[in-house]
Structure formats: C-alpha cells, structure tokens
Amino acid sequence: MDKSINCGVARRMANEMEKNNVKVGDYIVIQRQNYTKLHKVTLKGIVMLGKDQLELGPIIGRPVWKTYKMIPKKNGKRVFVLKECDNYESLAEQLKKDVSCGSDNRNIFDDGRSQLLSTEEIVSLRTSGMSGQAIVGQLIENSKTFRDKTEYSQEKYLKKKEKKYFEYITIRWPTIRLITEVMYRTDPLKIMGLRMDTLSQILTIVGIHTHGTYMVYESGCQGLVAAAMLNNINIGGQLVHIHPGNLPQKQAILAMNYDNDKMSCLISVNIYSLLRKLQENSASDENNVEVNKKESVINESFLSESESDNKAIKNEENSSNDVIDTKENVITEKGSGSGRLVCDSLKKDDKEFVEEKEITLNVVHERKRKHSDPGESMSKKPRWELETEKAADFLRPSKADGLVIISREHPSNILTALLPYVAPSRPFIIFCPYREPLLEIYIQLKRKNNTVGLRVTETWLRSHQILPSRTHPDILMSGSGGYLLTGIVVECSTSTNTQESGSSLQ
C-alpha cells in the first residue's frame, strides 16, 4: 500500500512539473529587466527583442522562471544564444567596484567630446560579439568625465547603459496582469485604453464565483476581459462570450494557456444569432403553452360530451334491444344479398385503412431512423450553431449571474437586448473610454424601474517611484482609464408598470 501511494504521489508531482515546462505552442512572457514581451513558442524558436535576435531552443522542455544569459554568436549581427544560469549580477555593481568617484559635478560640462570612442567604433564592438559588460567597460575607460562624477551620477549612468546592454532574460508564465501591461504598453488603442486598475474594478463589481453563468459582450479589447473572467470560473460555471462579428477576439484567452477543462466553460457566440435563437425559443414556448391550453379545453369538452352520450345510451339501451333484434333478423333473412355487399364494402374499407396505416408507420419509422443517430445530426450542424444552442439553453431557464459590456459601438441597444437575460439582484457593468454614452444610458435607465444603484465612475491612477530619499510621482501618466456604468437588475412590478402607462397616457 505504501509503495502504491508513493507511486501515485510521484506521478502527480511529475505531471505538475510537466505542466510547468515550456512546450511548443505555449505562450510565454520574456522579461528583460522592466521590459516584457508576449511570445508564442514555435519550432524555430526565434524572437526579436528590439534589434536583438534570440534563439529560444534551449528553453523548450525546461521549467519557467529560469534565467538565461544572452551569449552572442561569433560573426553574427546581434544574434544571441541562450545559456541557462542560476542568477545574475547587476552590471552597474560589477563595474562600480574598482572605479573612484568625485565630490561634485560643478566642473563637468556636456560638450559632446567627453567620449573618445566614436559611434562606428561602438557599433563595431557590439557586432564583433563582445559582451555587454566588456562594452560598458570600454565606454568607462574612454570617458574623460566618468571618474569626476559623483557616486549617484555614476550609478545613474551605469543603469542607463545597463538597460541597453543587459544580457539576461527570465521566462515567465502569462498572467492577467502581465498580459494587460504588455498590451497597454504596446498599443493602448487595441484594448480601448483599459488599464489594470479598471479591469480589477470590473472583476470586483461583477462578483464572479466559480459555478456561475456570466455574459460578456466584447468588441475591440482582444478578449482581455473574457480571459480575466474565465480565469475565475471552474468546471460547473459558464461564460458566454458574445461578439458582433463572425469570429471573436481571443488573443488574451489563447495567451493564458488554458487547458481543455477551462476552455469547456467558454461559449463564444454571435450576438445576432444568440438573440434570434432566444426569441425562437420563447416563441416556441408560448406556442406550446397555447396548444396545451387548447388541448385541455378540447379534452374537457370531449369528456363532458362523452359522459352525456354514455348516460343517454344507457337510458335507451333497454328500450332499443327489441327493435335491434328485429332489425338484425330482417337484414339477415330478407336482405341477404345486400347484407353481403355491405360486409364486403366494410372489409375493403378495413383493408385500405390498414394499408394506409402501415404506409404512414413506415414513413414515421424512416424519419426516426434518420434522426435517431445523434452523431449524424450533430455533424451536419456547424459549430457556431451548436454553440448558440448551448448558450441559449443556459440563458433561457436560469438567466445570467452578471453582464459585462465593453464595446466600441454605442452600448445602448446592446444593453437593451441583453439586460432581460440577467437574473434579478445581479450586477451589470458597461465600460466605455468616453463619458457621454454612459450618461445617456444612465438617464434612460433612470426613467425605467428595472435597475437600481446606478453609478458612473472614473478611475484615476498615478504610479510613484519608490527609492531611498528619491520617492516621487512619475512624470508621465495616462490621462484617463475609462468610465464605468454599474447597476443592479431588479424585477418590474405590475403596479408600477400600470402607473407608468397611465401617467404616460395622461
């Protein structure tokens, strides 16, 4: 028993270690100091960091959070091979050990002639395959003013050169924070200027729990909000990812390297096909209710009529027995020829009825055989239709536990179409880079009585530099992180509806 338990534990640990290994097709985050880049691992394993070309072959099959040193290739123009290492030392700390410093910078003038090496010579040093530490050492030796600078000025100069000639990278798994930072830094317009603080507010307000059903309408945000919401949902929950076009934007979802169990909780549907399917289902339900009502009425009338007929038949049975006997005798004795004709015609009618019944049964059985195989019928339907039916099955009976809308279009019509499928006492959130569309929706919802707790908010964020004796806000900052309209869905009472209709008529 002990050996079997130990074997099971060892297998689980091996599986977990394999999950943390980098494989072909995985997305990784390459970090070089404060710079990060999202990259998909391929068989070639080549990535560009600025003007530097890295060969990522050594990282395949190795675990994440490993540090690699960039070793330049001989006779290669800024082409580097990676070599795994345990740790790295700061370039500034290595070069600062044996260099003296001055007392002040009053006698130092920036005339552009303090560096003896020309630009062509520095480029030739880099293309020759010299390491970054050796290049910075050459720059220090050929500088006229470096040894006269103060210790703080020397450290600042070396950190500036270290950013340019840093030789180490770290491989990390993508997270929501890292993906948001990478996308916001590269091109904020691709994600509508959505910052990490605004995304965290969206996730907090919607209150995601692992087994809930949520809707997110997203257009023009690279699937960032859908990836963040899916990150908090496990098996048993569902996320209906609604999009306006033929294909959804899933860049952030794919970058998170979710497994099949996690991806099974995601349903991507087109908004037009979803609304059409929900309307068809509601119409069919109404027709079924009407048909059931009609059938119940017909059955009740039929039962009442049959009961009255049975009573009349029972009352007339005793009086009509003698007459029936005499009529039967007359038919069998006097009209024997006509009786045979009647019997023959009845037999013919019975045969024709049986044949028609057999034909109809054969047709029904053939139709059942055609539709009995679920694999054939499912394979004929396209994937988007199956996803739409699945989403409609989730939303129609129980409704969603929350709604998030991030759209480049005006969100008024989108909210009007999707809000009826949100359960009462559940939140809804609309994100927009501009304030005016949200104020229009705020006024529209205030006139109705199906929402409460409406708020339009804007987040303000400014990062700070935290260093010993040098703590201050950053000079550069984003102007706005967008606006949020939040509220809670409630049920409409019939009394308020009648009062509203009466006041509108007056």
Q: Decide the pairing of beta strands 403-406 and 213-218.
A: parallel
Q: What secondary structure does DSSP assign to 58-97, as a single string? A: GGTTSBSS-EEEEEEPTT-SSEEEEEEES----HHHHHST
Co-location of 137 and 215 in the same domain: no
pLDDT tier at 176, thresholds 50, 70, 90: very high
Is pLDDT larger for residue 339 or for residue 121?
A: 121
64 within a domain of the structure (yes/no): yes
Task: Report the distance separating Cα 317 and Cα 311, nearest Å.
Answer: 10
Task: Tell me which of 172, 205, 239 is where a domain ends.
Answer: 172
414 within a domain of the structure (yes/no): yes
pLDDT tier at 103, thresholds 50, 70, 90: confident
pTM score > 0.75 for this model? no
Quick one: average pLDDT of 292-314?
45
Residue 485 has pLDDT above 60, yes or no: yes
Residue 231 has pLDDT above 90, yes or no: yes
11 within a domain of the structure (yes/no): no
Co-location of 234 and 259 in the same domain: yes
Q: 169's torsion region: left (phi>0), alpha (psi -120 to 50) or beta?
A: beta
Task: Tell me which of 172, 207, 227 is where a domain ends.
Answer: 172
- Give the lowest-confidence range in 109-118, 155-164, 371-380, 485-494: 371-380
Question: Average model confidence (pLDDT) for the chain?
Answer: 78
221 within a domain of the structure (yes/no): yes
Q: Decide the pairing of beta strands 35-40 and 451-458.
A: unpaired
400 within a domain of the structure (yes/no): yes
Is pLDDT larger for residue 118 or for residue 314?
A: 118
The whole-number pLDDT of residue 130 equals 78
The whole-number pLDDT of residue 426 equals 95
Task: Report the distance separating Cα 499 and Cα 162, nearest Å.
Answer: 72
Locate 482 and state its tokens: 């967008």
Co-location of 76 and 168 in the same domain: yes
Residue 497 has pLDDT above 50, yes or no: no
Task: Tell me which of 172, 199, 219 is where a domain ends.
Answer: 172
Q: For residues 471 and 422, is the Cβ–Cβ distance under 8 A?
A: no
Q: What's the structural domain count of the chain?
A: 2
The whole-number pLDDT of residue 222 equals 92
The whole-number pLDDT of residue 502 equals 38
Q: Return all residues near 504 (Cβ < 8 A) that are at least 6 apart.
A: none
Q: Which string of b and e fits 390-416 if b means at least 16 CB within 10 Å?
A: ebbebbeeebbbbbbbbbeeebeebbe
Residue 75 has pLDDT above 80, yes or no: no
Co-location of 391 and 492 in the same domain: yes
Task: Report the distance separating Cα 31 and Cα 230, nearest Å.
Answer: 25
405 within a domain of the structure (yes/no): yes
Task: Report the distance separating Cα 179 and Cα 361, nearest Å.
Answer: 61
- Give the lowest-confidence range in 107-121, 135-149, 326-340, 423-437: 326-340
Co-location of 181 and 118 in the same domain: no
State the amino acid at position 254 in one-letter form: L
Q: What secondary structure does DSSP assign to 19-69, as a single string? A: HTB--TT-EEEEEETTEEEEEE--SS-EEEETTEEEE-GGGTTSBSS-EEE
Co-location of 445 and 425 in the same domain: yes
Co-location of 133 and 203 in the same domain: no
What's the domain range around 436?
A: 176-273+385-505
Q: Tell me which range, 114-128, 225-239, 337-351, 472-486, is most confidently predicted by mean pLDDT.
A: 225-239
Task: Report the distance separating Cα 503 and Cα 499, nearest Å.
Answer: 6
Co-location of 57 and 147 in the same domain: yes
The whole-number pLDDT of residue 286 equals 53
Co-location of 406 and 259 in the same domain: yes
Per-residue pLDDT tens digits for 258-301 = 999 999 999 999 999 999 988 887 666 555 544 444 444 434 44
**Nearest Cα to 250, choosing from 27, 479, 36, 477?**
27
- The beta-strand segments (E) located in 185-291 are 213-218, 238-243, 266-270
Is pLDDT larger for residue 169 or for residue 16?
A: 169
Quick one: average pLDDT of 80-87?
87
492 within a domain of the structure (yes/no): yes
Co-location of 151 and 248 in the same domain: no
264 within a domain of the structure (yes/no): yes
Task: Report the distance separating Cα 173 and Cα 284, nearest Å.
Answer: 48
The whole-number pLDDT of residue 365 equals 55
Co-location of 412 and 266 in the same domain: yes
Q: For residues 114 and 144, is the Cβ–Cβ distance under 8 A?
A: yes
Quick one: average pLDDT of 460-478?
85
Q: Which run of H or E residues covers position 259?
A: none
**Nearest Cα to 138, choosing from 151, 150, 129, 125?**
125
Per-residue pLDDT tens digits for 402-422 = 999 999 999 999 999 999 999
In this structure, what CATH number is given to the domain that contains residue 232? 3.40.50.150
Task: Report the distance separating Cα 222 and Cα 192, nearest Å.
Answer: 10
In this structure, what CATH number is given to the domain that contains residue 61? 3.10.330.20
Co-location of 403 and 478 in the same domain: yes
